[in-house]
Structure 1
Amino acid sequence: MSAPVPPVDQDARTPRRVAAHLGVMMAVAVVMGLLVACLTLPFAGVLSVVAKDVSKGVDDLPADLETEDLSQKTRIYDVNGDLIASLYDENRISVPLSQISRRMTEAIVSIEDYRFYQHGALDLKGTIRAFVTNQAGGGAVQQGGSSITQQLVKLTLVNQADGEEERAEATADTYERKLRELRYAVAMEEEYSKDWILERYLNIAYFGDGAHGIQAAARHYFSVNAKDLNVKQAATLAGLVKNPNGYNPVKNKERALDRRNTVLDRMAELSVIPEEQAAKLKKQKLGLKIEDSPNGCQQSQAQFYCDYVVRYLMEDPAFGEGPTERLRKLKNGGLTIHTNLDMRMQKAADESVSNHVYATDQAVGGLAMVEPKTGAVRAIAQSRPMGTNRKKGETHLNYAVPEQYGDANGFQAGSTFKVFVLAAAIRQGIPLNTQINSPQSMFIPDAEFETCDGPYYGSSGWPVSNSTGHGSYNLYTGTQNSVNTFFAQLETRTGMCEPLQLAEDMGVNIPEAQQVPSWILGVSDSNPVEMAQAYATFANRGIHCEARPVDKVQGADGQVIAEYKPDCEQVLPQTTADAVNDILRGVMEGGFGSGFRPSGVYSAGKTGTTQDNKSVWFVGYTPDLATASMIAGAEADGDWRSLNGLYVGGSYVSSASGSGLAGPMWGDAMSAITQYLSSDDFVAPAGTEVAGVLTAVPDVRGMSISSATSTLEAKGFKVTVGYAMNSGYAEGTVAATSPGAYEMFGSGDTITLYPSTGVKPKPDKKNKKKDRGRGPGDGRGRD
């Protein structure tokens, strides 16, 4: 017996093939009798119907069977191209015939339709052979007579069936169904090449164990791609299509082995492979190497990031007109989704959050990392895993993202909102060294707060008090100590309009009903992604980039469907952002954040604690990465409660604070990834453009008066010249300054230069204090 003809691309419309199809239709009366005999239907009744159909002639050939795109699974990748999740109704990845092993095509043709490349839609010889074989077997169906084209028609009708009724009709064991399939097969052979039919067949066929199509089957059973299947593997898979469940090699190894050997024998019989090779392979085991294909975000290693991606794309009309169409596209469209997830950062975030807040705690922890220069969301994590088991702390609410992407309302952000007033004050020219007397508590009438439309009139006024001390503070110390009465008074100077607009420009939503004077204490709900992207604006020197979890999405054909490029806008002057960074780095360098400051990088940040301690925050950043950390008291049913008196992460909380709870969680996550961050420093604020920048007075001793003046003015200081004094420096050069070298003073402050007489003073044996270049009447340091 001759071997199967190898796959070659053939024109389906040659006169020879047309004539063959006409012959098929003329012979259909006889053949359908055989088919019906196999179906145990009355032959006489069929013959009249068949004759009637044939008499209609070739003009009644059926219209083309529309072949819809096959359902293919969507794959989601991290920033390094590693798979993090798959979404599908059917586990399928369509591949062209050129990407399918030659051994696989030989095996499937050998066992299913060895004359596939020689006959038309119907293999008369094969059908008669199957009929004779089945009759010899006592009427039991031992061999199928359907060609690969007929099988493809049936699989297509089943695959495209809309509802149970159509599916039942597509699988009914009736003459009408057989005839309909044959008519469609004739049309399909006229429309498509043999190669196209075989390729479509291998991609639509079900191979059992949830694997649809040859690529999914090759990956699932042998952990190889379809193009790399060897003879033994190909024979196993080719044997499955007849009965995918019965020959399932995972559940029925013996039957699968027997079936594989049957295929090998058939390949040897047709001289596709040598008999010696078949005999050798039949002695070997199946050689399975199972590779599961997790489906959905719950089985992802980045559950809530995956969910964020899906919800983010569901908002995009590029994937359909409405939610149903978009979800179908995401699950069945064979998309390739490239995300901005960095698994190194995700792992650090997950570990830190799970160590600081347990899944079953009466608290929830969340953390998000955003890249300042692009808005790329690198990681999100939360303490409660995805699922429905409340006893295990599981939930489907995503607390780390905006409500539209996670269904969670968010949490009050506390004093992290104060930075919007701080930035507005700097932009308005309020000097950083401005001193404001800030008592422990005070009452401020509503009318002292200016809105965009004039004075604010709400209630009787705002009684505000501190939890971090009282006294006289400037913009540095008032922020670093998070003094409420300081910021309440600063807001009366900036007005409410500009800070609220700035918050919106930086991606933070303040509902109109909550736009009251006390909004700066974080009375509005927020989430880690929102706050991370806002603070990233400072790290990016005033350029705000919208948070985006996805980079681009490609269709099954590789073409880009949607691309999400950085969406950035300058919302603050660079110098204003630089000044904010200069102030907030003080939180890390001696302030509340010094205990969890990551080493090896420059960082800045701000704590946040709500008045009733229901939520605590720390939002910190480096020039490369902004991270928001949040912990909130939350019952299993979603009711919020104070963190005070709870056990969080195994430790008792007597009085919650941003620096005591959220800060360490932020610090552990950031410390684990400093190796991936640069050691770049923040740009120092220009004292010539920002009033009151606290800057170390340069050491200008020994310089000429003109050079010293230029150096000091470049730092934003004013300069005056005092009287000459004895010193060891050359005559006419600077002998000393007031304030002295290295003391911290604000831009705009006056530095006095004292020229040298050139006369070296006699040493003072009694006073050996270190000379810091101070002149007579030197100033005293400030807060």
Structure 2
Amino acid sequence: MSPRSKRPQGRPDAGRIASHLAVMAAVAVVMGVLVACLAIPFAGLVGVAAKDVSKGMVNLPESLEAKDLSQKTRIYDVNGNLIASLYDQNRINVPLGSISRPMVKAIVAIEDYRFYDHGALDIRGTIRAFVTNQANGGAVQGGSSITQQMVKQTLLYQAETEEERAAATEETYARKIRELRYAVAFEKNHTKDWILERYLNIAYFGDGAFGVQSAARHFFSKNAKDLNMLEAATLAGLVKNPVGYDPIDNPERAEARRNVVLERMAQLGILTEKKAERLKGRPIEETLKIETSPNGCQQSRAPFFCDYVVNWLLKDPVLGDTPKERRRTLNNGGLTINTTIDLGMQKAADDAVADGVNQTDQAIGGMAMVEPGTGDVRALAQSRPMGKNKKAGETYLNYTVPKKYGDANGFQAGSTFKLFVLASAINQGIPLSTSINSPQQIHLDDDEFETCDGPYAGDGMGWDVANSTGAGTFNLYTGTQDSVNTFFAQLETQTGMCEPLELAKAMGVNVPPAQQVPSWILGVSDSNPLEMAQAYATFAARGLHCDPRPVTQVLDSSGQPLKDFSSQCEQVMPGATADAVNDILRGVMEGGFGAPLAIDKPSAGKTGTTNSNMAVWFVGYTPELATASMVAGANEFGEWVTLNGQTVGGSYISSAFGSTVAGPIWGQAMAAVSPMLDDTDFQAPPGDEIAGVLTTVPDVTSQTVEAAVQQIEAAGFVAADGGQVDSEVAAGSVAYTSPEAGTQLSSGDTVTYYSSTGTVPKSGNGGKGKGRGKGRG
């Protein structure tokens, strides 16, 4: 050191003296402000910063509104299992009483150990930090009470502009003074416990976890109320630097910081030195049990059902006046959304669709399950998973629901639409036994079809319709079970177009006006699995149509009901009409196209195939569940293509049909869910209400005449007395009927019974020969 640089020992130089004097003066000014409790503007701080502070204080309100903290919304299945979370910040608010005492002690010890002893400001700590900061170049750090930290977090959380966010984090004394003024107001208006509770709920603990409850779940897979001393020390250490002390990315730094907290707790007598040393020896990696908290529907176990729920609720004003407000409520409102999905049924649907259609196939598979009588949506599945990787077959389009909920246009539903004409025919009293000659091809003029406004006025060309299932004479049973196009075209001329279209609309299938042409019954309108499942559920519920319902209840963040969603149902056809449709469609499963798909429960179903085999369907149901299965051709460009000649699900398709492509997917899913369903049978259609019901002649042999007549008439037949015949049956009892037991007849047909004389016939034929009776034979 040169002589010029040497200074006399024991005497501070003028610069150091001036610096210390400046610090002391500034502290005096700050203390003056504190003494005044920030109630009036002040001046006197040296330099521009002091003027800025004074100006800012004039404009500050006396208190700061603490708005509700955002919380994540949770979506649950029908059994209370979590299926998805929605949030902007991963936070679950909890009361102070639901936070473990070790956690409370740890955060107070390391952040503000005199929190319960001082007011808004720990004066000793602030002066110490102030002096230290000035001596180290003026950086603003340390000295903040928990109340001040809570104020800073609140200002940052509630900032709506970049300027407000910058003001909440700027390293200036002006910010400190602003925070202090608000802290004084909080201390005046709230208890210490309230302040600490809000602080623990608003604080960021790193790795996306906001608030102590989410942090406890994320880092230790437990609730905040169950945190032990070691876990509490870890979390308490994170709030100072959540990124730098992240125990996942920086375990060594996190462990060192945790041990600082433990040492501090030992210094304060919260735990013994011996226990602190023992806890410090535990590697932090051994204490972690990471639990992820997926955000949004993509990572849900039922992504497209979740997406449907979100879009469905976004249209409900209970969550806000505008879609933007509703979205904010969904993502920040801490809602509990109870839904109708059954994860067991969802898995069955997912497995069946995935087995039937690969995600990269030139096809899309979709399925929906709906409960009759409630409209509860039990499952939605599609072959293309949720995502943006088109090469991997991913998509964000939800093909299983109407366009307004999933952005997809849907697919032509084919012959599944024929049921609207069938039900209308039955409702109009057309006997089920009505026979119609149905050639392979037929031409029908436009004016043969009646609309609600009179004869259909088409282009004058009429309708040339052809069969894909053969020609013949069919009744309502066989014409439906064989899905004969020319049969239904002619049946539509009898029912007219008006009632079937209105019935379709009442059952949730709205045919656009431009597509209300005679051929609409062949499914030329676009539909989707959910729409068809809820429509067919109407038959299973004996004519009671219920709108699809994905949500039963929404609770607010405090657990109070925000809205209950009851089933929206309406009887759209007589129960007897639905019973007759069910009776016809169960024949599809027992001997028609659906026979190979039959499950161990009574079931009914209908196939659907569109022109050029671009989409195929199978919609089937039991009394407990309606399920629609669909496969549609679609290339990588999103263009619809024929399924013919495609390899789908690993199998080559030469010619696609509903029964052979969509049907097996339905069968696999329904076989899996069958054990979950009750053993309920369809109700037989009453012959006295539905003309032409095909009913089995009951076996009344050996019954009394009175009992036999009752049973015959209960089956819908007219009972006629055929007189007496010799028979081994006891005298006076019924010997036999004609037609014999087991014969299929239409309702209203006559069944003749013959009573026994009790005499064994000599011919041994039981008296069934012509002229054997002694009475009116």
Partner of 1:622: 622
Partner of 1:493: 494
Partner of 2:240: 242
Partner of 2:82: 83
8 Å CA contact 1:538–1:577 kept in 2: the answer is yes
Partner of 2:202: 204
Among 208, 226, 229, the alignment partner of 2:227 is 229
Name the SS for the 2:473 alignment partner. strand
Q: 1:51 Cα shift?
A: 11
Q: 1:63 Cα shift?
A: 2.1
1:514 counterpart letter in structure 2: Q
Q: How many Å separate the matches in 1 of 2:118 and 2:541?
A: 68
Q: 1:725 Cα shift?
A: 2.9
Q: 1:225 Cα shift?
A: 0.5
Q: How many Å separate the matches in 1 of 2:462 and 2:324?
A: 49
Name the SS for the 1:620 alignment partner. strand
What do residues 162-214 of structure 1 show as CA deviations (whole Å, max 9, x unaligned)?
Answer: 12221111111112211111111111111111111111101110111111110
Partner of 2:738: 738
Partner of 1:74: 73
Does residue 93 (structure 1) correspond to residue 95 (structure 2)? The answer is no
2:124 counterpart letter in structure 1: K
Q: 1:65 Cα shift?
A: 0.4
8 Å CA contact 1:364–1:634 kept in 2: the answer is yes
Superposition pairs for residues 21-36 of structure 1, below 5 Å? 28-29=30-31
C-alpha spacing 1:701/1:61, structure 2 compared with 1 (3 Å): closer
1:532 counterpart letter in structure 2: A
C-alpha spacing 1:55/1:528, structure 2 compared with 1 (3 Å): closer
Q: How many Å separate the matches in 2 of 1:448 and 1:618?
A: 30
Name the SS for the 1:639 alignment partner. coil
8 Å CA contact 1:148–1:198 kept in 2: the answer is yes
8 Å CA contact 1:349–1:669 kept in 2: the answer is yes
Q: 1:50 Cα shift?
A: 9.9
Partner of 2:297: 297
- Aligned identity (percent) is 65
1:72 counterpart letter in structure 2: Q
Superposition pairs for residues 131-530 of structure 1, below 5 Å? 131=130, 144-286=142-284, 287-459=287-459, 460-530=461-531
Partner of 1:22: none
Q: 1:731 Cα shift?
A: 4.0
Does residue 109 (structure 1) correspond to residue 108 (structure 2)? The answer is yes
Q: How many Å separate the matches in 1 of 2:125 and 2:110?
A: 12
C-alpha spacing 1:48/1:659, structure 2 compared with 1 (3 Å): closer
1:490 counterpart letter in structure 2: L
8 Å CA contact 2:140–2:171 kept in 1: the answer is no
8 Å CA contact 1:377–1:548 kept in 2: the answer is yes
Name the SS for the 1:311 alignment partner. helix
Q: How many Å separate the matches in 2 of 1:285 and 1:749?
A: 86
8 Å CA contact 2:216–2:227 kept in 1: the answer is yes
Q: How many Å separate the matches in 1 of 2:65 and 2:581?
A: 63
8 Å CA contact 2:57–2:178 kept in 1: the answer is no
8 Å CA contact 1:298–1:386 kept in 2: the answer is yes
8 Å CA contact 1:738–1:774 kept in 2: the answer is no
Name the SS for the 1:499 alignment partner. helix
Gaps of 5+ in 2: 1-26, 36-43, 773-777
What do residues 623-647 of structure 1 show as CA deviations (whole Å, max 9, x unaligned)?
Answer: 1100000000112222111111111
8 Å CA contact 1:26–1:54 kept in 2: the answer is no
C-alpha spacing 1:51/1:171, structure 2 compared with 1 (3 Å): closer
Name the SS for the 2:318 alignment partner. helix
Name the SS for the 2:307 alignment partner. helix
Partner of 1:590: 591
What do residues 474-499 of structure 1 show as CA deviations (whole Å, max 9, x unaligned)?
Answer: 11111111111111111111111111
8 Å CA contact 2:151–2:179 kept in 1: the answer is yes
C-alpha spacing 1:569/1:55, structure 2 compared with 1 (3 Å): closer
Q: How many Å separate the matches in 2 of 1:758 and 1:661?
A: 58
C-alpha spacing 1:283/1:142, structure 2 compared with 1 (3 Å): farther
Q: How many Å separate the matches in 1 of 2:664 and 2:49?
A: 84
8 Å CA contact 1:365–1:631 kept in 2: the answer is yes
What do residues 240-279 of structure 1 show as CA deviations (whole Å, max 9, x unaligned)?
Answer: 1111111111111111111111111111111111222111
Name the SS for the 2:244 alignment partner. coil
Q: How many Å separate the matches in 2 of 1:243 and 1:54?
A: 29
Does residue 632 (structure 1) correspond to residue 659 (structure 2)? The answer is no
Q: 1:569 Cα shift?
A: 1.1
Partner of 2:47: 45
Partner of 1:678: 678
What do residues 554-595 of structure 1 show as CA deviations (whole Å, max 9, x unaligned)?
Answer: 111111112211111111111111111111001111111111
Partner of 2:12: none
Name the SS for the 2:210 alignment partner. coil
Q: How many Å separate the matches in 2 of 1:628 and 1:467?
A: 22
Q: How many Å separate the matches in 1 of 2:743 and 2:637?
A: 55
8 Å CA contact 1:29–1:54 kept in 2: the answer is no
C-alpha spacing 1:478/1:85, structure 2 compared with 1 (3 Å): same
Q: 1:54 Cα shift?
A: 13
8 Å CA contact 1:397–1:406 kept in 2: the answer is yes
Partner of 1:703: 703
2:181 counterpart letter in structure 1: R
Q: How many Å separate the matches in 2 of 1:130 and 1:556?
A: 39
1:507 counterpart letter in structure 2: G
8 Å CA contact 1:62–1:183 kept in 2: the answer is no
What do residues 672-723 of structure 1 show as CA deviations (whole Å, max 9, x unaligned)?
Answer: 1111011111111111221111111112233343432222112111122335
Does residue 754 (structure 1) correspond to residue 763 (structure 2)? The answer is no
Q: 1:735 Cα shift?
A: 2.6
Q: 1:300 Cα shift?
A: 1.0
Q: How many Å separate the matches in 2 of 1:180 and 1:446?
A: 81
Does residue 569 (structure 1) correspond to residue 564 (structure 2)? The answer is no
Q: How many Å separate the matches in 1 of 2:625 and 2:391?
A: 35
Partner of 1:20: none
C-alpha spacing 1:114/1:490, structure 2 compared with 1 (3 Å): same
Name the SS for the 2:611 alignment partner. coil
8 Å CA contact 2:687–2:693 kept in 1: the answer is yes
C-alpha spacing 1:445/1:46, structure 2 compared with 1 (3 Å): closer
Q: How many Å separate the matches in 2 of 1:55 and 1:283?
A: 49
8 Å CA contact 1:61–1:187 kept in 2: the answer is no
Q: 1:132 Cα shift?
A: 5.1
Q: 1:473 Cα shift?
A: 1.0
Q: How many Å separate the matches in 2 of 1:741 and 1:126?
A: 100
8 Å CA contact 2:140–2:173 kept in 1: the answer is no
Q: How many Å separate the matches in 1 of 2:515 and 2:254?
A: 67
Q: How many Å separate the matches in 2 of 1:364 and 1:175?
A: 62
8 Å CA contact 1:634–1:641 kept in 2: the answer is yes
Partner of 1:9: none
Partner of 1:5: none
C-alpha spacing 1:143/1:315, structure 2 compared with 1 (3 Å): closer
Does residue 666 (structure 1) correspond to residue 674 (structure 2)? The answer is no
Partner of 1:579: 580
Gaps of 5+ in 1: 1-24, 34-41, 779-783
8 Å CA contact 2:53–2:173 kept in 1: the answer is no
What do residues 385-432 of structure 1 show as CA deviations (whole Å, max 9, x unaligned)?
Answer: 111111100111000011110000111000111111111111111111
8 Å CA contact 1:32–1:50 kept in 2: the answer is no
What RMSD over aligned residues (CA atoms) do the two structures have, in Å? Answer: 2.3
8 Å CA contact 1:738–1:776 kept in 2: the answer is no
Name the SS for the 2:632 alignment partner. strand
